[in-house]
Amino acid sequence: MKCNVDASFSDVLNRTCIGLCIRDEDGVFILTKSIPVSFLHSVNVGEALGLYYALEWLSNMRFDNVDFALDSKITVDAFNHPRPDVTEFGLIISACRSLSSSKFTNSKVEFTRRQANEVAHTLAGAATLLASPTTYSIVPRCIEHLIINEML
């Protein structure tokens, strides 16, 4: 499976929002989740939080063999090439590595271009209007056209 992860940021609402989309090996929609975080974080911290929430969500559902795709090269490189970092970003990445190594046996974190991560980006943007995390088992209207176009 593949889980696309992205974060968006709203200065006006003082929020960081996370979008997650899980698809099978053929690209068929499985689940999505939008997560509003009630604090505006830096871009690096927001992207790292997105990865952490994705790892936590999928581990709670006992998923494995998942490729996590992010359009943040800084986050992907920090996850895949550990080095000491005691900043908030570094601590979140460390928590991601710990969760990944304890819950996932055959998964990876990889960089993808923004265009290939449009579904997660759109979900993150839609989360700015949510009061709490929301999981969708059917394709939400805000990404319906993207999912259809990608399946063609």
Query: Domain spans of the chain?
Result: 2-151
Residue 85 has pLDDT above 90, yes or no: yes
Residue 1 has pLDDT above 80, yes or no: yes
26 vs 93, residue with greater confidence: 93
Structure tokens at 131: 């009061």
Among 135, 121, 97, residue whose Cα is nearest residue 17: 121
Look at residue 139 in the predicted model and tell me its pLDDT.
Answer: 94
Q: Could you report the per-residue pLDDT of 59-76, keeping only the tens digit for each?
A: 999 999 999 999 999 999
| Per-residue confidence band for 17, with pLDDT thresholds at 50, 70 and 90 | very high
CATH of domain 2-151: 3.30.420.10
Q: Could you report the per-residue pLDDT of 109-148, keeping only the tens digit for each?
A: 999 998 778 999 999 999 988 989 999 999 999 999 998 8
Contact 4, 66 (CB under 8 A): no
DSSP 3-67: EEEEEEEETTTTEEEEEEEEE-TT--EEEEEEEEESS---HHHHHHHHHHHHHHHHHHTT--S-E
Look at residue 151 in the predicted model and tell me its pLDDT.
Answer: 73
Mean pLDDT of the chain: 94
pTM value?
Answer: 0.94
Among 99, 138, 151, residue whose Cα is nearest residue 21: 138
Look at residue 23 in the predicted model and tell me its pLDDT.
Answer: 95
